[in-house]
Amino acid sequence: MCTDCETTQAGPVFGRRHFFGLAAAAAALSTGMARADDCAHFDSEALKAASPDQAIQMLMDGNARFVAGGSLNCDLVALGHATAEKQTPFACVLACMDSRSAPEQVLDQQIGDVFVARVAGNVATTEVIGSFEYGTAVAGAKAIMVLGHNHCGAVKGAVDKAVVGDALTTLLNEIEPAVAATPLTGERSSHNHEFVEAVAEANVRMNVAALTEKSPVLKGLVDSGALKIVGALYNLETGVVTLLS
Ligand SMILES: [Zn+2]
């Protein structure tokens, strides 16, 4: 039985949803992001008018709704119909495959809003970079967020130098540079929580850098001001996404 579900069906929450609807509308006005309403799909006109900073702000506004329990709960079937012929997502998100860190949920984004690539350890593989070249240079998304998280099993595996299969070992090796670059106090072990979280942050920063280092297309967009790439960390306990400065 889902006690949360009972809570969200209670009367007072409707008012809260309405409140957050107004708050989101106010945020949209303040950032100049035009939508007919909170649950209208992001169209090409809005995308054209959006700046990279506004796109990032929309992601962070969504996380604020999620944390406050005020997710929009839009009609996803209706949005599926509305975007079936054409999608115009405003951002790309690279996240870990972790079941607890789904970007559409923790950033409260709807169908048609974001391109999402997920790989254990949020590693910017060639396939991810190619996907984001499409999402930005072809489809026009204005921002990329690399979203790591605490208690990451992939980071722990890299810290422990876990060996399972060739493919997994190859993937974990991609996180090794972040392990090597993180000052170690205490033992190199996944039980060293402070070290694990420091590696997770370093890993996000390195993958943010990798996107432009490995992709002249993404670098060109960033240099021209058409695209902004940011790193962020999701906290499993609080639900809060924090941008890395
Ligand atoms: Zn993870």
Query: In angstroms, what is the span from residue 203 Cα to ligand 1's centroid?
Result: 11
Check if the beta carbon of residue 73 is closer than 8 Å to that of residue 105. Answer: no
Domain tally, the chain: 1
In the reported structure, the alpha carbon of residue 9 is separated from the centroid of ligand 1 by a whole-number distance in angstroms of: 31
Tell the residue number behind the tokens 């006005």, with chain if given: 29
Cα(10) to ligand 1 centroid in Å equals 34
Q: How far is the CA of 206 from the centre of ligand 1 (A)?
A: 15
The pLDDT of residue 38 is 80
pLDDT tens sequence for the chain (245 residues): 343 433 333 322 322 233 334 444 444 444 545 565 788 888 888 898 899 999 999 999 999 999 999 999 999 999 999 999 999 999 999 999 999 999 999 999 999 999 999 999 999 999 999 999 999 999 999 999 999 999 999 999 999 999 999 999 999 999 999 999 999 999 999 999 999 999 999 999 999 999 999 999 999 999 999 999 999 999 999 999 999 99
Q: What is the CATH number of the domain that holds 174?
A: 3.40.1050.10
What's the CA-to-centroid distance between 156 and ligand 1, angstroms?
A: 9
- pTM across the whole model: 0.86
Extract long-range pairs of 71-79: CB within 8 Å, 24+ residues apart. 71/105, 71/108, 72/17, 72/20, 72/21, 72/24, 72/38, 72/39, 72/108, 72/110, 73/17, 74/38, 74/39, 74/110, 74/111, 75/39, 76/110, 76/111, 78/39, 79/39, 79/41, 79/110, 79/111, 79/112
Q: Domain range holding 176?
A: 3-243
100 C-alpha to ligand 1 centroid (Å): 9
